[in-house]
Amino acid sequence: MNLKTIYRKHSFFWIYSLVFLLLIFGDVFVFGIKHLNQLVFYFASFLTVYLLMNQLRLKWILPDLKFNQKLMVKFLIIAGLGMVASHLLFLGGSPAVESLDLMKISEVNIKRKSIGTNSHFIWKYLSSINIKAILPFLLLILLIKKNKIYWVVFFIGVFYCFSLMQKSHILSFLIPVLLYTLFKKNWLYSLKYGITIAVVIIGLIFVSSPSLRGGMNDLRKSELKSQKSNESKIVSISKSLTKRIFIMPGEMVGNWFEIIPKKKPFLKGKGYNAFCKMTNQKYHDYNLELYPVIFPDYANQGIKGSVNSAHFMRGYSNFGNVGLLLSAIMLALMLFVLNIFFQSSNQIMKLSINLFPIFLLSSGSLSTILFSGGWGLMILLFWIFKNDLTVNHE
């Protein structure tokens, strides 16, 4: 078996390995090698379990799901665009557009938080599923089928992602088609998606920073050092994005290792909502509870936020090294199942659908990304449309 065949068969494993190297880089960059033993223990456990699972020489055959493809596409169009229209009507318009009239950063923060706090939990779930699964998959299949409705979905989806004031939404929506066009060497479309992502992110930075449009930052008692520097806003934004991508995921892992169990105890299961409901215990969300510990200056000014970390940190925060082992087993099983689902698919479709969710494992739990994060639904949609998606796209 040559190296190319090994890569194709285990491409999910190699992609995740690169993500894990990124985590190690960020952690070592900030904290040195003090957490390296735990990180090596986790990855060695993951590698061992993954290799053992792949020794099971069984033939896995998944049955085809028989659906009317044209009818399913129409259903996705109606469902995806219908949920966008209903949600924006429920919100009373576009929160991002409305925020352009707000000249204080505290007011913008309140407006952004109101998108979630004023919405029923069903809307939160449906919106997440729509942006992270239905709309991106719909855009991808309409592009492949050269359906004219593609442009309607594209423009409405971009506006919807902008309206909800979360930079990650535009990535969830456009990354699958961006990857597909890159692999297909359709450079014009790739450039269009790249520019659209950049414009939306810069636009949201502009919306969330009233000081850039003549307003004020009323949450700071003193000027930020970065504001005193001679750097242009573009350079400052570029540095911020670079740090967010290459340093912060690993830095957050290190922060959790530093805090748990020295400042915060292991939760022993109380970090899982389902377990707490069954045992009648109080649920603790360390994503929220660790924010004032990691960002005390912001917390002292009344700012509330969350500090997501790599998927295996949820297991660690509950059960320590045993939790790392359990997280390693769960991810190895997940990648093993993915290999089965996409065993007959070409590399273009495999990576277009799964690369971004695997990358998100650097800053979110596996269960969240799989369910409310839309990854599971994307896999199901691929299974439904796999005959259309695996023909003539290699």
What is the predicted pLDDT for the residue at 214? 77
- Kindly state whether residue 2 falls inside one of the protein's structural domains: no
- pLDDT tens column, 13-29: 999 999 999 999 999 99
Residues 266 and 149 both lie in one domain: no
| Residues contacting residue 59 through CB under 8 Å, at least 6 positions apart | none
* 230 inside domain: no
> Which pLDDT does position 121 carry in this prediction?
77
Residues 261, 332 within the same domain: yes
- Whole-number Å distance between alpha carbons of 248 and 2: 36
* Residues 230/283, Cβ–Cβ less than 8 Å: no
Count of H helices and E strands in the chain?
Answer: 23, 0
Which residue among 345, 361, 389 closes a domain? 345
**Is there a domain that residue 305 lies in?**
yes
Residues 153 and 88 in one domain: yes
Domain contains 385: no
pLDDT digits (tens, 9 = 90+) for 64-98: 777 788 899 999 999 999 999 999 999 899 999 99
17 falls within a domain: yes
Q: Which phi and psi (to 5°) does residue 216 adopt?
A: -140, 150
- pLDDT (0 to 100) of residue 227: 45
Please indicate, yes or no, whether residues 74 and 47 belong to a single structural domain of this protein.
no
Domain of 81?
69-217
User: Where among 323, 345, 367 does a domain terminate?
Assistant: 345
* Nearest-angstrom CA–CA distance, 36 and 254: 10
Q: Which of 345, 360, 385 lies at the terminal end of a domain, its last residue? A: 345
> Does 98 lie in the same domain as 20?
no
Both 121 and 155 in one domain: the answer is: yes
> Which pLDDT does position 59 carry in this prediction?
63
Q: At what angle do helices 36-53 and 11-31 cross, to 10 degrees?
A: 170
Per-residue pLDDT of the chain (394 residues; tens, 9 = 90+): 677 777 888 899 999 999 999 999 999 999 999 999 999 999 999 999 999 998 876 666 667 777 788 899 999 999 999 999 999 999 899 999 999 888 888 888 888 888 877 777 788 889 999 999 999 999 999 999 999 999 999 999 999 999 999 999 999 999 999 999 999 999 999 999 999 999 999 999 889 888 877 777 776 644 444 444 556 666 766 777 778 888 999 999 999 999 999 999 999 999 999 899 999 999 999 999 999 999 988 788 777 788 999 999 999 999 999 999 999 999 999 999 998 888 878 889 999 999 999 999 999 999 999 998 999 999 999 988 887 776 545 4
- Domain presence at residue 189: yes
**In 209-311, which ranges are continuous DSSP H helix?**
225-228, 233-246, 248-259, 273-279, 286-289, 291-294, 296-300
The whole-angstrom distance between residue 139's C-alpha and the CA centroid of its chain comes to: 18
- Same domain, residue pair 121 and 192: yes
Residue 197 placed within a domain = yes
- End-to-end C-alpha distance for the chain, whole angstroms: 21
pLDDT attached to residue 120: 74
Helix (H, G, I), strand (E, B) or coil at 268: coil
Domain co-membership, 50 together with 79: no
Q: Are 266 and 286 in contact (CB under 8 A)?
A: no
Q: How many domains does the chain have?
A: 2
**Dihedral (C-alpha) 106, 111, 117, 123: value to the nearest 10 degrees?**
-150
Q: Give the Cα separation of 101 and 207 in Å (integer).
A: 9
User: What integer pLDDT is reported at residue 226 of this predicted model?
Assistant: 43
Question: What's the pLDDT score for residue 224?
Answer: 41
- pLDDT at residue 8 in the model: 82
> Are 183 and 319 contained in the same domain?
no
Backbone angles phi, psi at 305, to 5 degrees: -160, -170
DSSP per position, 186-216: -HHHHHHHHHHHHHHHHHHHHHH-GGGGT-B
89 plus 197 within the same structural domain: yes
Q: Would you call the peptide bond into 176 cis, given omega within 30 degrees of 0 as the criterion?
A: no
pTM (2 decimals)?
0.89
Q: What is the amino acid identity at position 391?
A: V
Instruction: Look at residue 343 in the predicted model and tell me its pLDDT.
Output: 82
Q: Is 292 helix (H, G, I), strand (E, B) or coil?
A: helix
Other C-beta atoms closer than 10 Å to the C-beta of 254 total 21
Question: Is 31 found in the same domain as 110?
Answer: no
pLDDT of residue 302: 75
Tokens of 296: 């005390």
Determine phi and psi for 104, rounding to 5 degrees: -125, 140
- Predicted local distance difference test score (pLDDT) of residue 16: 97
What is d(CA 54, CA 56) in angstroms, rounded to the nearest whole number?
5
CA distance 346 to 139: 19
* Same domain flag for 144 and 45: no
The pLDDT of residue 310 is 94
What residues contact residue 43 under an 8 Å CB cut-off, 6+ apart? 20, 328
- Residue 74 covered by a domain: yes
